[in-house]
Structure formats: C-alpha cells, structure tokens
Amino acid sequence: MTPNLSQFTGPFKEDLYIALKAVNKASLIAIREFHETSQLLVSKKGTADFVTMTDLKIEKELIKHLHQHKKQYAIISEEQGEIGPKDAQYKWVIDPIDGTFNFMHGIPFFCISVALLEYTENKTNTILGVVYNPIVDELFYAMRNQGGVHVYKSNQSKKLRASNLTNYERMLAIISLKKNTAKEKNNILEDIIGKTHMKVRSFGTAALELAYLADSRINLVVYESLNIWDYAAGILLVQEAGNNVYNLDGNPIDLNSKKSSLIASNRTIIEGIVDKI
C-alpha cells in the first residue's frame, strides 16, 4: 500500500504519511487473522458488542506506531480510551476494527480507521482521515481542504466526488436507528423511506459506509448513535468529497462529543430531509 501523496502539501502531510504507515502495519495482523476466524478469541463488551483479540493486537500496533512518531499527540482509541496528554492540541482517533461482528463471521466488510483531530479554542476539526479495508486492499484517505478524497486500490489512485443523484428510487441508503428512541425523528425518516422507495441496507461498519458515501456507492447514511472512533475519519471523507453532514437535530457534528447522531448525503437530498426533521 504505497499511494502517491504528491497532491498534498502543508505541515500535516507528514502526519498523513505516519497514519498510512501505521494502518499498513496493523493491516498485516488483520489479514493474517481474518483467515483464522474459527480460532478467534472473543469477549463481550455489552449487548451485541464484542471485541476480539485481533482488535486488541491491531490497536496496540496502531498506538505503538503513532506514539513513536508523535509523542506530543494524544490518542483516543476504542478499547483503551484516551492515552497521552489531556490538553494535547492534536489527538489521533483510532478504531482497530470497525465491523468486528463482520470480521468474526469471516465477512470481508470491515476496516481500520484513523483520524487526526485538532483542538482549538473555538472549534475542533478533523485534519485527516484514513479508512482501509485490508481484505479487498482498498484505501480511502483525505486531508482537510487539500483537494478532496482519494481511493487507492490495485496500485491505482482516483479522486472521489459526491453523487448528485436525487432520484430516490435509485438511491441506496444506510439507516441505523435504535428501537423505541428518538421516536418522532424515526417516524419522519420511516415516512420518507416509505414514500420514496429508496433501498435501505445496513452493512455493519460506519467508517466504511461513510467512505462508500464519499465514493457515491451509497447515497444517504443515517445513524442514531455513533462513537467518535466510528465517524471521525469517515465524516472528513464525506465532507471533502462534497457531501453535507449534520446530526439528527440538523446541527453540525460536534467533535468534542464522544457520541453523535449523523445524517449525510448530497446537498439536495440532505437539506430536504433535515428540513423535515
């Protein structure tokens, strides 16, 4: 995995290179152990929420590489929480396997996700995002305000652009809503889905689904509750490709919050839905 980064400039280009190297190293663990899923050691974190030994190994490798090169940065990880200086201006946000349940069942739809957040007095921004599916060897990466999103596969790189599709009947949507919560919004969304006849799926990995939205393979995503490691990299991909992103209250995503709802699509689709919500 050696994408050409010549299109990127500025002080954070080194950080993107570091993130890509970390993901590449960690992916070797995922590839090796994906083909041995019958031997996985699995423990339960909560209701229908599992962690494998592979998650922990990948997380350890990511933390080791990122900390080695940027000791002044903190790290927010899914399994270990926050590591490093609490007042750090920059924090890596990592998800060793987004889509653990798919991984456990030998389904090659999961990813390693790494983002870098910048904390300022007025706002928190995502500086860069990397999402990598090691089994199909497909890499999505972007830097804030650096010319859009790129996907790298089979030694070739291409630039992504948001879909301009507005025909609901041709749309593929990812809808993930919890039962018996946010009932009013759920009813509105269910009404929109029912009347528009869009096709609805849920593939079980938000970061990769967001990357697919950036690549126009998916046209709308709606999540009622995501952890920051699920979406930190993905929303940068979505935004840099030209899509709009809000929470289910119609407000911008607050990256200072550890959890958030999320709805994203192209401008025409998203503004119509957010207005109704």
Q: Are residues 150 and 183 in the same domain?
A: no
Can you read off the two tokens belonging to residue 11?
């002080």
Is 46 domain-assigned? yes
Would 178 be classed as within a structural domain?
yes
In a domain, 17, yes or no: yes
In a domain, residue 104? The reply is: yes
Asked if the model's pLDDT at residue 42 lies above 60, the reply is: no
pTM: 0.90
82, part of any domain:
yes
Partnered with residue 94 across adjacent β-strands are: 77, 114
Tell me, yes or no, whether 135 and 207 share the same domain. no
Please name which of 236, 217, 269, 1 lies closest in space to residue 116, comparing C-alpha atoms: 236
The C-alpha torsion from 64 through 157 and 226 to 247, rounded to 10°, is 130
Residue 260 has pLDDT above 50, yes or no: yes
Beta bridge partners of 125: 118
Q: How far is CA 56 from CA 49, 51, 65, 82, 94, in A?
A: 14, 8, 14, 15, 12
Cα–Cα distance for residue pair 76/84, rounded to 1 Å: 9
Q: pLDDT value at position 63?
A: 96
56 in a structural domain? yes
CATH number, domain containing residue 173: 3.40.190.80
Domain assignment present for residue 127? The answer is: yes
* Total domain count, the chain: 2
CA 199 to chain CA centroid, Å, is 22
Query: pLDDT grade, residue 54 (50/70/90)?
Result: confident
Same domain, yes or no, for 50 and 185? Answer: no
Q: Across residues 139-146, what is the average pLDDT?
A: 94
What number is the average pLDDT over the span 5-31? Answer: 94
Which amino acid would we find at residue 68? Answer: Q
Give the CATH number, domain containing residue 87: 3.30.540.10
Domain that holds residue 38: 13-160
Of the candidates 93, 125, 160, which is a domain's last residue? 160
- pLDDT tens digits along 113-128: 999 999 988 889 999 9
- Same domain as 62, residue 150: yes
Looking at the fold, whether 63 and 137 belong to one and the same domain comes out as yes
Q: Do both 31 and 83 map to the same domain? A: yes
Span 69-90, pLDDT tens digits: 999 999 999 878 899 988 899 9
Q: So what's the pLDDT on residue 161?
A: 82
Beta strands in 120-186 (DSSP E): 124-133, 138-143, 149-153, 156-160, 172-176
What's the mean per-residue pLDDT of the chain? 86
Amino acid letter for position 218: I
Comparing 267 with 131, the larger pLDDT belongs to 131
The whole-angstrom separation of Cα 163 and Cα 267 is 10
> What is the pLDDT, as a whole number, of residue 184?
58
Residue 181 above 90 pLDDT?
no
- Looking at the fold, whether 127 and 246 belong to one and the same domain comes out as no
As beta bridge partners, residue 141 has 130, 150
Tokens of 66: 């990122």
On whether the CB atoms of residues 149 and 129 are closer than 8 A, the answer is: no
Contacts of 154 (CB under 8 A, 6+ apart): 137
Residue 182 lies in a domain: yes
- Identify which of 263, 166, 162, 260 has the alpha carbon closest to the alpha carbon of residue 213: 162
Q: Is residue 191's pLDDT more than 90?
A: no
Res 49 pLDDT > 80: no
Q: Are 65 and 122 in a shared domain?
A: yes
